[in-house]
Amino acid sequence: MMNKYRYYASMERGPEARPPVCLRYAMWATAASFSQSYRSVEDLLYKRARQYIEATEMKNQGEHYLTLYHAQTWCLIATYEVTKAYFTRSWMSVGRAICLVQKLGLSNLDVEDTRLKHLSLPAHDWIELEEGRRTFWAAFYADRWASTMTGWPMILDETKINTNMPASEECFERGIPHESVSLAAARSPEGGRNLSPFGGLLLSTALYGFNHQHVYQAGVDDRPEDVENGKFWKRHRILDNAITNTFMFLPEHLRLPDAGHNMTSVFTHISLHTLVILLHQIAIGQAVTNNLDAGVVEQSQARILMAAEEIVSILRLVSNQEAVEMASWAGFCLFVAAKVFLKDHNSAPLHYSPSANIQFLISIMKTIGLQYPITDYFVAQLELEVQTAGIDLNTPIERCDDVLDTDTSTRVTFNGSMYFTNEDQ
């Protein structure tokens, strides 16, 4: 969200013009969570960040709170909280970040409309404009994933977004103005030609928002028993085609294996394959409930297994250490893929062993869990299900009781499955 050199230059200003202390503590907490040397103080830095930004919110009439810096602070705090599995706090922090970016007009940076109220001054230059864009899209990314994982409503309405996609990292850091396009235009082959890795990630994230609406905002006239004309199946086909088109229209520099060195691009592909799994799992559920033709179920099952195998193939292109550099939600995507192999284990032919894929995914998830504790919850759930299924893996499973025996007052529900999280009081 922040231009490194512009940030360092701002620290040379007077006390009132410098970035607020809350932002600095949020940055330090995030950095400390990636460092073995400073990980012991990350919780202290995180709590200081919250204390300072909450104090600023209560200062006078709250006018000191409406700045880009404070929106960035809440984005960093929300991201940190979700990696630690503080879901309730993260949900509230995401809401604060979104309220700030909306008040600042960051969702309408690339449209001139006198009816829109902006509480921030126009950007002085392209770097400042790009910082505003990136801050908005960081809040959008958090909004979509928070709703995907919890089932709670999304806040941002995609049809009312008038802010272009972020430029490339190189252009942003060097301050080289770069023409960007809207989210809708980026979905076309022409518009997506110069898409950045961050922009590619946002394309897949936006599709999760459509899937959330498909699942949780279904109408009474969905008619899931009618495969040809039912609204449920029409939405299903539209989203399925959108995912396919996203794969097809990604520019060459974001395709695998050429983009295998960029973990943002790798996660984009993994998240798209995960979305295929989730979409067709919902389809199977409706097909079974409504006693539809067996061919519908078989087709979705084939798509699910193919997507899970693609995730494994992608992960074999990167090392365990590189996998840690993916987004914090990577562990969830691997969990979804492993569940596919777990279900497929009993029906697998003799020459095919899904347990090898399960073991591979668990090893990657444990490595990711060293950086993102949220992954530990998915690992614990997966290992428990592996034991219950009686699958014998080559490596012993160590049950993590401090993860499984969590406070049941905080739950995360996804697609009808409930997972427990543990928040310190």
Tens digit of each residue's pLDDT (9 = 90 or more) over 360-382: 999 999 999 988 999 999 999 99
Question: Long-range contact list for 124-130, CB < 8 A, 24+ apart?
Answer: 125/175, 126/175, 126/177, 127/3, 127/6, 127/172, 127/175, 128/6, 130/3, 130/166, 130/167, 130/172
What is the pLDDT, as a whole number, of residue 400? 46
In sequence order, what are the residues at sequence separation of 6 or more whose Cβ sits closer than 8 angstroms to the Cβ of residue 295? none
Strand partners, 413: 418
Distance CA 200, CA 250 (A): 7
pLDDT at 398 over 70: no
Instruction: Provide, rounded to the nearest whole percent, the portion of the chain with pLDDT above 90.
Output: 68
What is the pLDDT, as a whole number, of residue 200? 95
- 3-class secondary structure for the chain? CCCHHHHHHHCCCCCCCCCCHHHHHHHHHHHHHCCCCCHHHHHHHHHHHHHHHHHHHCCCCCHHHCCHHHHHHHHHHHHHHHHCCCHHHHHHHHHHHHHHHHHCCHHHCCCCCCCCCCCCCCCCCHHHHHHHHHHHHHHHHHHHHHHHHHCCCCCCCHHHCCCCCCCCHHHHHHCCCCCCCCHHHHCCCCCCCCCCHHHHHHHHHHHHHHHHHHHHCCCCCCCCCCCCCCHHHHHHHHHHHHHHHHHHHCCHHHCCCCCCCCHHHHHHHHHHHHHHHHHHHHHHHHHHHCCCCHHHHHHHHHHHHHHHHHHHHHHCCCCHHHHCCCCCCHHHHHHHHHHHHHHHCCCCCCCCCHHHHHHHHHHHHHHHHCCCCHHHHHHHHHHHHHHHHCCCCCCCCCCCHHHHCCCCCCEEEECCEEEECCCCC
pLDDT at 219 over 90: no
What is the pLDDT, as a whole number, of residue 192? 85
Q: At what angle do helices 68-83 and 21-33 cross, to 10 degrees?
A: 30
Residue 245 Cα to chain centre, angstroms: 20
Distance CA 199, CA 196 (A): 5
pLDDT at 418 over 50: no
Average pLDDT value for the chain: 87
pLDDT mean over 280-309:
94
Q: At what angle do helices 197-216 and 263-289 cross, to 10 degrees?
A: 20
* Global pTM value: 0.90
Distance CA 136, CA 153 (A): 18
Distance CA 304, CA 240 (A): 12
What is the pLDDT, as a whole number, of residue 152? 87
What is the pLDDT, as a whole number, of residue 15? 82
362 CB-contact burial (10 Å; exposed 0-12 / middle 13-18 / buried 19+): buried
Distance CA 421, CA 106 (A): 32
* Apex 73 CA angle, 379 and 89, nearest 5: 45
What is the pLDDT, as a whole number, of residue 423? 45
pLDDT mean over 74-84:
95
| Greater model confidence, 424 or 192 | 192
